Amino acid sequence: MSELKTALHDSAWWFVLSEGKLVALDKGELIPFGCIEELPFPDHVTDNKRLLGTYNSYSCYLVEVDNHLDMGLGEYVSLRSLLGKVQDLLFEMAGRAFQVALFYKTHRFCGQCGNPMQEIDWEVAMKCYHCQHRAYPRVSPCIIVAIRKQKKILLALHNRHQKNNYPVYTTLAGFTEAGETLEACVEREVFEEVGLKVKNIQYVTSQPWPFPHSLMMGFTADYASGEIKIQPDELIEANWYDIDDLPLVPKHGTIARKLIEKTIKRCR
Ligand SMILES: [Zn+2]
């Protein structure tokens, strides 16, 4: 991570977090923006602000408060509710705010010797001055893959979507294991979840997924061999769908949707 720099402008974006939610305005840009002197925030509430980075040349700050403190504007909303509503880069910064806050909350003590950790002021890191152990925000790599078979795409209904009245069919995904390449992870996850072998594994794009700290790395692949045999702990069903007759798929703004659309183009 390069050194964090403050933007030249006085105005800034404010990511105010409390009890797993953040302050958003129901009109305008949604995320509070402006000079600290001009905003109605209670006195001293921003004294503990932390620089997250910049967006459109303006600094972005994380401010943590207790018990959904009234900030004088907007209301507290979940991070998920911002997905697809604010610009992608602003959503990513909101996700970064949650991940940074979680990092400081879970790294107050050294994992190696148990002594209290200190914040490092020039990067997002915690250091133990007793044993010199240093820790950075955790990022968990995760693959997500859209699989093509002639003019069909493999979509699955996941257990976690079961209770939804409008079941969403999506691509396969899973966490990378220690010491594993992303390509090997794609092969393993596909085989574990649906019992198929795939080929022509191609990287497409990535998306930070801050629930709580995944980094989704998206691939396309082609069917090679095997019959669908689902892993029942993870999936309810998985089927080949004709690209002209798809079930309900994930919404715009998600990497799954991008991979499905890319695969439809590959089929045509
Ligand atoms: Zn230590």
pLDDT (tens digit per residue) in 116-150: 999 998 889 999 999 999 999 999 999 999 999 99
**Radius of gyration in angstroms for the set of CA atoms belonging to the chain, rounded to a whole number:** 21
Nearest to 172 by CA among 260, 88, 252: 260
The region of weakest confidence among 69-78, 113-122, 173-182 is: 69-78
Residue 58 clears pLDDT 70, i.e. is over it = yes
75 is in an annotated binding site: no
Band of residue 2 on the pLDDT scale cut at 50, 70, 90: very low
Lowest mean per-residue pLDDT among 8-12, 89-93, 204-208? 8-12
pLDDT for position 1: 43
Q: Is 212 annotated as a binding residue?
A: yes
Q: What is the mean pLDDT of the chain?
A: 91
Tokens standing for residue 146: 């859209």
CA–CA distance, 227 with 259 (Å, rounded to integer): 22
Whether the ω angle into residue 208 lies within 30 degrees of 0, i.e. cis, is no
Instruction: Kindly give, in sequence order, each residue whose CB lies less than 8 Å from that of residue 92, ignoring residues fewer than 6 positions away.
Output: 208
119 C-alpha vs ligand 1 centroid, how far in Å? 13
According to the annotation, is 113 in a ligand binding site? yes
CA of 124 to the centre of ligand 1 (A): 17
**Known binder of ligand: residue 256?**
yes
CA dihedral defined by 221, 226, 231, 235, rounded to 10 degrees?
50
Q: What's the pLDDT score for residue 4?
A: 61
CA of 135 to the centre of ligand 1 (A): 10
Confirm whether residue 136 is marked as ligand binding. Answer: yes
Find the 114 Cα to ligand 1 centroid distance in Å: 6
Ligand 1 center from residue 126 Cα (angstroms): 10
Percent of the chain, pLDDT > 70?
A: 94
pTM of the model: 0.86
Whether residue 247 is annotated as binding a ligand: the answer is no
Query: Do the annotations mark residue 210 as ligand-binding?
Result: yes
